[in-house]
Each structure stands twice: as C-alpha cells, then as structure tokens.
Amino acid sequence: MINRSSMMVQRRRSMAKSALAYLSDKPKMSLARLLSGFSFHASVIFAAEKVLSSHSIRARKRMILYLIRHGLAAESALQHSTEDDLRRPLTDEGRKKTKRAARGMAALYPAPDIILTSSALRSVQTAEVLSGVWKCRDIRSVSALNPGAEMKDYVSTLNDLAADEGSLDELRIAIVTHQPELGEFLGHLIENNIRRDEDRRFAYQPAACARFELKKASLAVVELTDEGAALEAFFSPGTLRRIAKM
C-alpha cells in the first residue's frame, strides 16, 4: 500500500521542481512578469518546504491555525441591518473562486481537524466549501466570531474549544471569519499580544499591532508554540487558485 504521507512529499517536491523549471525557462520574459512569476513560484517552494518539515518528528508541542477570510458574498440590500448582513450568501462567482482557492490550500497543507466559522451565512458557506475539498467534517459555527467581534471573543472561543477538546496541542484549526477583525487577530498573534499562559489558556494583552489585510478566500498559516506565534505563510486567493492548477 502506498503511504499517503510519502505521496504528499513527492507531490510537494514535484511542485518545487516545476517552480524552478518555470524560472529557468523564461530568459526573455519582461522583468515585471518574471518577478510576478517568481513571487508565485517562490511561495510554492516556501510552502513545500513547510509542509515537508511538518511531517518530521517535533520535540515541541505546537498547534497550527489556518486563518481564512470568507469568499465573495452578495451585497446587502439594507446596509445598516445586522440581521440582513448575516444572511448574505456567497455569490456563484464567490463559491467557484473559493473552491479553487480551497484546492490550492489542500495541495499545500493537511486538512484542519476543526473548522471554526462565524454564524454569518457567507462564512458558513465558505467553511462548507473548505470542508468539501479538505474532507474535514467538523465545522463549528460560533456567533461570538460574527462581524464586529473583539479580540477577547477570539480568545474565549479558542479557550472554549480547548476545554471541549482537552488540549489544542498538535491540532490544526481553521478559522473562517471577517475583516478587519481577522487581520487584527493575526497581528496580535504575531506580536504575542495573544498567547498561551502557564495553564495553556489563551490570554490577550491589549497593545498596538500591525493589522493585516486579508482578501476574500486568502490564507494565513500561523504556528503557535510555548514560545509564541510565527507566521508560516501568507497566500493571496489568486496565488492559491494558480497553485490549484498545477
């Protein structure tokens, strides 16, 4: 029987080789297009190395967060109605682009163990698309992560999840929510304003931080250990869709 992990490793190596071949085969390409191609394929190589390293034996405990903004949704008829905003679905285009981006995510990273989503319809539908591609059936809708959520809501959601699961160590958790809160959450993680304490509970220390702009159906991958958080990779939706075609 062919080992699935070995197949994944071989696939990532093949992707990296394709990236290098692409660059070496474009001597007459304009500088702008060359840089654009390099940016895309360098991200493939970087992600491939990360995925390969994720299969090695680790001495330290860690968890992985996949931070994903929902896909393109229909416009709200009532701009100031919270209830109407929560009912906005993905458009047909949004669903198609999100599915292609999800295929790129699945080509680079193992499936999450749990997908957390806000209760907004566009986020729930995005989570369902991810679930279908990644084959992750554990989707949990959390109203505390709805648009307008505060950082303490993200922290309490993770702590509640830890209480339910016993531990979040070695888990991969996808969080599908909204801007600007998701970008702020990412910034606080990287600045270690949100980190785990001695009891392995998440705590939030309000402080200034960089706020990331996540496009719809983009992906940020964060590794959390006892030492803090580190941004492993950041992919635009366009890059993910191109990776899915390889």
Residue 56 has pLDDT above 80, yes or no: no
Give per-residue pLDDT as tens, 160-190. 999 999 888 889 999 999 999 999 999 999 9
Q: For the residues 55-64, what does the mean pLDDT come to? A: 61
Concatenated DSSP letters of 179-243: TTHHHHHHHHHHTTSEEE-TTS-EEE---------PPTT-EEEEEEETTEEEEEEEE-HHHHHHH
- How far are the Cα atoms of 60, 83, 118, 119 from residue 148, in angstroms, in the given order? 35, 13, 11, 12
User: How many C-beta atoms surround the C-beta of residue 150 within 10 A?
Assistant: 14
pLDDT of residue 33: 38
Asked if 233 and 220 touch (Cβ cutoff 8 Å), the reply is yes
Q: Model confidence at 227, in pLDDT bands (50, 70, 90)?
A: confident
Q: What is the pTM of this model?
A: 0.77
Two structure tokens written together for 60: 């330290």
Asked if 231 and 222 touch (Cβ cutoff 8 Å), the reply is yes
Two structure tokens written together for 216: 């719809």
Q: For the residues 223-237, what does the mean pLDDT come to? A: 92
Residue 36 has pLDDT above 50, yes or no: no
Residue 98 has pLDDT above 80, yes or no: yes
User: How many C-beta atoms surround the C-beta of residue 44 within 10 A?
Assistant: 24
